[in-house]
Amino acid sequence: MIIPVMPESGAEMGTAPLPTFGAGSRAWYRASLQEFRSASEDSVLGGLTRNSEFEVGEAQRDAWLGEIRLLQSLLSRYDGEVLLEFAVPRMGRRIDAVLLISGVVFVVEFKVGEALFKRADIDQAWDYALDLKNFHAGSHAPPIVPLLLATGAKSAPAIVLDRAADAVYRPLCVTVDGFCTALDAALAVAGGSLIAVEQWASAPYRPTPTIVEAARALYAQHSVEAIARHDAGAINLAVTSRRIEELADEAYALKRKIICFVTGVPGAGKTLVGLNVATRRRDHEGQTHAVFLSGNGPLVAVLREALTRDEVVRRRAAGEKASKSRAANPVKAFIQNVHHFRDEALLGDAAPADHVVIFDEAQRAWNQRKTADFMKQRKNRPDFPFSEPAFLISYLDRHTDWAVIVCLVGGGQEIHTGEAGIGEWLAAVNQHFPHWHLYLSSQLTDSEYAANTALDVVRERSNSHVEDDLHLAVSMRSFRAEHVSGFVKAVLDCDQRGARAALASLQGRFPIVLTRELPRAKQWIRTQARGNERFGLVASSKAMRLKPHAIDIRVAVDPVHWFLNDRDDTRSSYYLEDCATEFQVQGLELDWICVNWDGDLRFSDTGWSCHDFRGNRWTNINNVANQQYLRNAYRVLLTRARQGMVVFVPAGESTDPTRRPEYYDATFQYLADLGIPVLEDIQA
């Protein structure tokens, strides 16, 4: 039924009451189909307008009236429920209409006046259906049929009901005259048990956005609770954010200097927590204004570009003249490269403008040797005595009253020579800044965080505090399965029993397949992806002998184009031509990944064998730290996918001494023996 509200003073009595669901509602209008058909156009329009979050202009009003008239006419013989302008928080958009009829969820996307069915519009309807299936608890079980209704079209493709394993159908393109035919065809095939409407409407929505989607939503002032999961398994995402904000307020109130370390499994939302705190405190006039810093150049570039594009669209929609350069200025102030921040500290002795600084991927900060080499060569500062963590802390320590440093720490993510791990931060505090208060994640003891013996020293300090709330234990990247990172860790640790168990837990939820044929891998990944789900090729930066497969990692990939551009752009990941390395993808993610495994990391009877290609041959990597960097590179690559991945291990070539089959065979057999299905066997 329509939930009534009292008419405003002067409102005409006798019309259907306006529906409202309050500030937390996902639909701006909801009613049974019977009530919807009997309601006046004005009353339905009034409900949409009243609950709208934006000022309704003439064009939007006319579009809504057209949709209302059509639906009231077309749905004359159906029973069920209609929800108009249904929110999809993860995407920051709204579904034109959701129909609940005879056990089927219909997602209707209107294109008023359009005569053609465009690929982008089809994908939009598909994306909405997939979003409901994956993130809306009430839509996990029932079949979902997306419909694209182009009101100006005179003909449409034949109706073909193509159901995927998760009960989401391929979108149906329909004309006004063919709308009911499509409904009837879908109901005949997919109809079943009635949906409990009240339960469906009130079911929780638990999205897991990509970091780009999250940044866009947070920058637009949505809360982290609104765009991310908040079920029991992932509750500490919000808890951790609140705890950091409490520490910032405490530091300001007590005139105290605080450094806290937030840990988390790959994809757990560490960057999301940092962005949330920064967006909530981005008011430059506020006493506890925060800035988000990252040494990950590709991540900074992609996030800045995504936010700038959004800002331009927002300003133009508001009637402003918006140049891209002007829209980029506030974005640049919000997300900064840590190296630019560091260079500001070299210009003088003044304290930074910011009191609260968030360092993303803090474990990648440089050790003293790497920092000294850089300062000598690039800044003409010989004998520089500090590691990067020590120098950054000293910069914040210039504040005479208070300061807060938040270090977001990933385990096993150091992938480049000179990246120090979190032990360098702890050692800096021990040796130079005993007056700083430390708040440590209870999981820093894990060997992956490389805290070393420095952790034992700081835990003995009177002003050190260990807290469970500073660890994010649940992966948010893969909404289908939360154990991908555990599987990858077991694979790289040569824990075959643990890897098999983790793989079994992923069965049916997160497909992982193996192949020795790259064309087959590409075909599989294209077949798996639906709507605008993004996919791409990745490989290690040391994968130098994939060139015979048209993969040359020495070709520079622009991460902005690769991650953000549409499928018709040859520079985008969709084209499956340019291959990104761990340096371009760390901190970011795609829906589907093809991991291309070269002879740089080889399985053997004694574990992993690490190699570097020099000149015209492979050489052994004997340095223990460099071996770990290579394993971590594969850890990054294998944990980039949100929905599934294919691993391509070449067969090698006996006539090529740089690609001998024995460089690849043991790795392929190891992965196959773990239970990863082989595409050649599946498709035989």
**Own/partner pairs for 156-160, CB < 8 Å, 24+ apart?**
156/117, 157/117, 159/185
Whether 525 and 666 map to the same domain: the answer is yes
pLDDT bucket at 420, cuts 50 / 70 / 90: low
Residues contacting residue 679 through CB under 8 Å, at least 6 positions apart: 513, 514, 515, 517, 520, 521, 524, 646
Shared-domain flag, residues 115 and 162: yes
Q: Which of 202, 227, 257 is the last residue of a domain?
A: 202
Nearest-5° angle of CA 603, CA 579, CA 532? 115
DSSP 352: P
Q: Measuring CA to CA, which residue among 542, 633, 618 is closest to residue 586?
A: 633
Residues 566-590: tens digit of each pLDDT: 999 999 999 999 999 999 998 888 9
How large is the average pLDDT for residues 223-238? 55
- The verdict on 85 and 63 lying in the same domain is yes
267 in the same domain as 370: yes
Q: Is residue 305 part of a domain?
A: no
Within-domain flag for 467: yes
Within this chain, do residues 528 and 464 fall inside the same structural domain, yes or no?
A: no
CA–CA gap between residue 558 and residue 185 (Å, rounded):
45
For 16, 18, 43, 55, 572, the CA distances from 11, given in Å and listed in that order, are 11, 11, 11, 20, 53
Tell me whether residue 15 is in a domain: no
Q: What is the DSSP letter of 136?
A: B
The reply to whether 21 falls in a domain is: no
User: Does one domain contain both 528 and 557?
Assistant: yes
Domain boundary among 449, 472, 495: 472
Which stretch of 187-196, 452-461, 627-636 has the lowest confidence by average pLDDT?
A: 452-461
Residue among 523, 504, 512 at smallest CA distance from 678: 512
**Number of continuous H segments (helices) and E segments (strands) in the chain:** 25, 22
Domain that holds residue 73: 27-202
Q: Where would I find the beta strands (DSSP E) of 68-138?
A: 81-88, 93-101, 104-111
- Whether 327 maps to a domain, the answer reads no
pLDDT given for residue 164 in this prediction: 92
The one-letter amino acid code at 128 reads: Y
Average pLDDT for 503-520: 94
Torsion angle defined by CA atoms of residues 296, 299, 301 and 303, in that order, rounded to the nearest 10 degrees: -140
Report pLDDT for 430.
86
Number of domains in the chain: 3
CATH of the domain at 368: 3.40.50
Predicted pLDDT of residue 289 = 78
Q: Do 490 and 413 belong to one domain?
A: no
Please check whether residues 598 and 465 belong to one and the same domain. Answer: no
Predicted pLDDT of residue 225: 55
Contact 554, 584 (CB under 8 A): no
The tokens for 280 are 């909530």
* Domain end among 472, 505, 520: 472
Instruction: Give the pairing type, strands 607-614 and 617-620.
Output: antiparallel
For 319-370, what is each residue's pLDDT tens digit? 777 778 887 877 887 788 888 888 888 888 999 988 999 998 888 788 888 8
Mean pLDDT of the chain: 86
Query: Rounded to two decimals, what is the model's pTM?
Result: 0.80
Residues 393, 511: one domain?
no
Residue 477 lies in a domain: no
Residue owning tokens 């089927």: 104
For residues 491 and 629, membership in a common domain is answered with yes
Does any domain span residue 274?
Answer: yes
Residue found under tokens 């210009």? 347
Q: Which pLDDT tens digit goes with each residue over 86-107?
A: 988 666 678 999 999 999 999 9
How many C-beta atoms lie closer than 10 Å to residue 352's C-beta?
16
Same domain membership, residue 488 and residue 451: no
Residue 181 token pair? 């035919």
Residue 87 lies in a domain: yes
For residues 30 and 201, the answer to whether their CB atoms sit within 8 Å is yes
Question: Are 399 and 284 contained in the same domain?
Answer: yes
What's the Cα-to-Cα distance from 87 to each of 144, 201, 429, 532, rounded to whole Å? 16, 12, 46, 18
